[in-house]
């Protein structure tokens, strides 16, 4: 059984076909990469998989369960998490408070009762443990809007991991980072447990090909080719259109 699967998925926006008959199977424990030029439909596909967009047609399966019509929170309960191109932090709260909120939500708690959480020792310790594990303790008390962009990306990834998802969607996790920050985020991704299935969109081909064991190439809303890294590297169409080679 595939961890995540799309079967003939399409998406129309006001008559504009953004995705057309996309079928992808992501196997359990895979590091599966999606590449393609801007406008290829990659993020639209992620938005459909996570429930932000509905499918115009086709089917999506998570661990064999049809999730096509499920809202995002139901998909999260089934083990799916994702990051976004733009970080989703509460900017005026501290990094530690953002982690506490994520932990509270992972417990099934109501986010409207934030104030009493500050006295919850389990949440405080859980946040401290998460930050220490990912070597981010030094920014725990800083407001999220004061940390660097690279640190925000690291925190965003950490928050996606709070609920220990079985399937993780990473939408360009190294976009806009400095060389040093790219290394740090790439190290975080490589350290993820192998029983966690990861589907990633990434433009940095060095990072992407160093991470992936399976690659799907998209263009104009369609899957063009799929294969292992070696096959994609040696594919003439991919080299010409997606990797900027003649």
Together in a domain, 54 and 14: yes
Q: Which two tokens stand for residue 23?
A: 């079928």
Together in a domain, 70 and 187: yes
The contacts of residue 126 (CB under 8 Å, 6+ apart) are 99, 100, 103
So what's the pLDDT on residue 119? 62
Separation between Cα atoms, residue 5 and residue 197, nearest integer Å: 12
- Alpha carbon separation from 53 to 28, 44, 118, 179 (Å, rounded): 24, 8, 34, 33
Q: What is the pTM of this model?
A: 0.89
Neighbours of 117 (CB within 10 A): 18
So what's the pLDDT on residue 81? 95
Separation between Cα atoms, residue 28 and residue 51, nearest integer Å: 20
So what's the pLDDT on residue 240? 80
The pLDDT tens digits of the residues spanning 21-72 come to 999 999 999 999 999 988 899 999 999 999 999 999 999 999 999 999 999 9
So what's the pLDDT on residue 245? 47
Does 58 reside within a domain?
yes
3-state secondary structure (DSSP) of residue 194: coil
So what's the pLDDT on residue 246? 41
CATH number at residue 38: 3.40.50.300
Query: Could you say which of 147, 164, 181 is where a domain stops?
Result: 164
The CA dihedral of 175, 179, 182, 184, to the nearest 10 degrees, is -150
Together in a domain, 220 and 172: yes
Together in a domain, 145 and 31: no
Together in a domain, 112 and 148: yes
Together in a domain, 28 and 140: no
Separation between Cα atoms, residue 217 and residue 28, nearest integer Å: 20
3-state secondary structure (DSSP) of residue 163: coil
Does 180 reside within a domain?
yes
* Domain assignment of residue 102, given as a range: 89-164
What is the residue-wise DSSP string for 6-47?
EEEEEEEETTEEEEEEEEEEE-TT-EEEEE--TTSSHHHHHH
The contacts of residue 208 (CB under 8 Å, 6+ apart) are 33, 35, 200, 202, 215
Query: Could you say which of 164, 182, 206 is where a domain stops?
Result: 164
| Residue with the two structure tokens 């994702």 | 82
Does 84 reside within a domain?
no
How far separated are the first and last CA of the chain, in Å rounded? 39
Q: Which residues of the chain have pLDDT under 50?
A: 113, 245-246
Separation between Cα atoms, residue 93 and residue 48, nearest integer Å: 29
3-state secondary structure (DSSP) of residue 169: strand
So what's the pLDDT on residue 74? 94
Together in a domain, 170 and 246: yes
On average, the pLDDT of the chain sits at 89
Query: Could you say which of 144, 164, 184 is where a domain stops?
Result: 164
Provide the number of structural domains found in the chain: 2
Together in a domain, 171 and 245: yes
So what's the pLDDT on residue 117? 60
Together in a domain, 156 and 122: yes
């Amino acid at each position: 059984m595939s961890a995540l699967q799309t079967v003939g998925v399409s998406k129309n926006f006001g008559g504009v076909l953004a995705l057309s008959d996309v079928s992808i199977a992501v196997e359990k424990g895979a590091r599966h990469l999606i590449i393609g030029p801007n406008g290829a439909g990659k993020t639209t596909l992620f938005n459909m998989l996570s429930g932000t967009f509905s499918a115009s047609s086709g089917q999506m399966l998570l661990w064999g369960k049809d999730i096509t019509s499920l809202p995002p929170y139901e998909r999260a309960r089934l083990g799916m998490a994702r990051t976004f191109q733009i970080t989703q932090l509460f900017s005026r709260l501290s990094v530690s408070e953002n982690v506490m909120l994520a932990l509270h939500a992972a417990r099934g708690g109501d986010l409207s009762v934030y104030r009493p959480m500050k006295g919850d020792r389990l949440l405080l310790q859980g946040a401290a443990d998460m930050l220490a594990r990912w070597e981010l303790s030094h920014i725990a008390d800083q407001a999220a809007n004061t940390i660097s962009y690279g640190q925000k990306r690291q925190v965003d990834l950490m928050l996606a991991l709070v609920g220990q998802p079985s399937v993780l969607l990473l939408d360009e996790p190294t976009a806009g980072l400095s060389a040093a920050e790219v290394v740090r985020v790439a190290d975080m991704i490589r350290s993820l447990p192998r029983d966690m299935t990861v589907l990633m969109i990434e433009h940095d081909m060095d990072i992407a090909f160093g991470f992936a064991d399976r690659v799907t190439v998209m263009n104009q809303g369609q899957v063009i080719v799929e294969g292992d890294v070696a096959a994609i590297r040696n594919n003439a169409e991919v080299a010409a259109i997606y990797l900027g080679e003649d």
